[in-house]
Amino acid sequence: MGKTRYMARDRWRPIYRYPYNDDFVYCVSSIAAIGASTVVYFALYDAVRSLVAWFWILEAILVASGLVAGFSVARHLFFVTPQVRRRNAITWAACAGLHFPGLYLGLSRGLPAIDIYLLAGAALCAIAYTTAGNALYKTGWIRLYTDGVIIGKLVLKYADFVYTEFACGRPYQDHVPEQGKGKPIVVLTPINYEYVEKNFGVTHYYCFIITRDTTYVAQSLTKRSDFVANVRNAWSCYDWDRRQKVTRESREGKAT
């Protein structure tokens, strides 16, 4: 993988990090909405203060563009389901639509430091910030290290792997490797098999991690081959080093 980082020593600095649930999409969109509304407010600060009509025009633009941007980002960047696209569009539009008037009430009124407008503005901004913070908090992460992988709260060391493999397209029940058959199957992340448009479709990759007692199934949010290939390659390198070490020790034992 090019870098050497261990779980015990570099817990917060994995070699690779992948989100695995839809909350990351909502987090990205809510932060983008807050940023966009902030830029619009300060870029047109004088116009907003001088004419109330500008506030409503910009508010309508932010909400409408948020619906379009939220749907497009979820569709073209993350390839998620239609339900998630719609929810993401609403999240983006709502955060932009709340944060912008929050800034307006809190900063543009020219009233005393503490008044009903400031409190209302703070409350609206707080809703947008809470939405972003909650989505970030709920985002699940896959973290890859030199000696293992952490998926959510589950720690799996390469030393405990019996085998790992990846598959795509069809349900994981149809692809379970021989080494994992007959063992309990634990699905660690949401699994999505295919993204379908009118004229094309994209199959998604997911990963099998097989230990002595359990077969685990996991998929990153991007659903591309980079996560599953990195898990496979990391374990293969670890397993090769382990076998080489056993071979060397065996030769040294025979030599003595």
Please give the share of the chain, as a percent, with pLDDT higher than 90.
67
Handedness of CA 130, 132, 133, 137 (dihedral sign): positive
H or E element that contains 202: strand 201-203
**Domain stop point among 113, 138, 163:** 138
Q: Which residue has the higher pLDDT, 153 or 252?
A: 153
Residues 6+ apart with CB under 8 A from 13: 5
At 112, is the pLDDT very low, low, confident or very high (cuts 50, 70, 90)?
low
Pull the structure tokens for residue 130. 């809470």
**Domain stop point among 138, 154, 187:** 138
Q: Which of 106-120, 144-158, 197-211 holds the top average pLDDT?
A: 144-158
131 with 159, same domain: the answer is no
Q: What's the mean per-residue pLDDT of the chain?
A: 90
**Domain stop point among 138, 161, 180:** 138
Domain-located, residue 15: no
Residue 95 contacts residue 103 (beta carbons within 8 Å): no
Mean pLDDT for 190-199 is: 84
Which pLDDT score is estimated for 250? 67
At 48, is the pLDDT very low, low, confident or very high (cuts 50, 70, 90)?
confident
Domain-located, residue 64: yes
130 with 190, same domain: the answer is no
Which pLDDT score is estimated for 247? 72
Enclosing domain of residue 28? 20-138
202 with 133, same domain: the answer is no
Domain-located, residue 12: no
Residues in the chain: 256
Mean pLDDT for 63-76 is: 95
Mean pLDDT for 232-242 is: 87
36 with 126, same domain: the answer is yes
Cα separation, 186 vs 66, in Å, equals: 37
At 195, is the pLDDT very low, low, confident or very high (cuts 50, 70, 90)?
confident
121 with 165, same domain: the answer is no
DSSP state of 26: H
Of 63, 64, 45, the closest CA to residue 54 belongs to 45
H or E element that contains 22: none
128 with 182, same domain: the answer is no
200 with 97, same domain: the answer is no
Number of domains in the chain: 2
Domain-located, residue 14: no
- pLDDT higher than 90, residue 245: no
201 with 119, same domain: the answer is no
Domain-located, residue 10: no
192 with 127, same domain: the answer is no
Which pLDDT score is estimated for 110? 54
119 with 49, same domain: the answer is yes
Q: Which residue has the higher pLDDT, 130 or 255?
A: 130
179 with 97, same domain: the answer is no
Domain-located, residue 31: yes
- pLDDT higher than 60, residue 19: yes
The answer to whether the pTM exceeds 0.75 is yes
Domain-located, residue 2: no
Domain-located, residue 54: yes
170 with 231, same domain: the answer is yes
